[in-house]
């Protein structure tokens, strides 16, 4: 009985999948650390994101920022002025600010 070898393309795909699984299993702490992604729109309509942002720290935006989207599992607050000053806009997890709502700073999981 002769066996046909698997096509090289299938072997490469299988190796890639198994490699990904091995990598995920070798770093269990990294999967637990995932907190989500904060998204916003910057100059010229370009999308920006921060993965797993730090808690309780005010972050000033370096350039124009608007349309905040809270893709994290924690509440965040955006402010119209740097240094987390001005009228705060709280965004619960999964919520978005209006697309044209500009902000200059943000704090994640505020105290």
Q: Using one digit for the tens of pLDDT, what is the confidence trace for 15-52? A: 333 333 333 333 333 332 238 999 999 999 999 999 99
Task: Please give the CATH superfamily to which domain 34-108 belongs.
Answer: Crystallins (2.60.20.10)
Collapsing DSSP to helix, strand or coil, 23 comes out as helix
Residue 17 pLDDT: 34
Neighbours of 55 (CB within 10 A): 13
Tell whether pTM > 0.85.
no
For all residues of the chain together, what is the average pLDDT? 78
The domains of the chain are located at: 34-108
Mean pLDDT check: name the lowest of 22-31, 52-61, 68-77, 93-102: 22-31
Token couple for 45:
């309509």
- Gap between the Cα atoms of 61 and 103, Å rounded: 8
DSSP character at residue 19: H
């Amino acid at each position: 009985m002769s066996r046909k070898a698997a096509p090289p393309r299938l072997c490469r795909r299988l190796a890639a999948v198994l490699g990904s699984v091995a990598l995920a299993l070798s770093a269990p702490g990294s999967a637990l650390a995932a907190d989500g992604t904060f998204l916003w729109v910057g100059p010229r309509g370009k999308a920006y994101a921060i993965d797993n942002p730090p808690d309780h720290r005010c972050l000033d935006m370096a350039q124009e920022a608007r349309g905040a989207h809270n893709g994290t599992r924690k509440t965040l607050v955006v402010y119209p002025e740097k240094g987390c000053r001005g009228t705060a806009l709280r965004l619960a997890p999964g919520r978005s600010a209006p697309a044209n709502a500009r902000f200059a700073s943000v704090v994640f999981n505020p105290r």
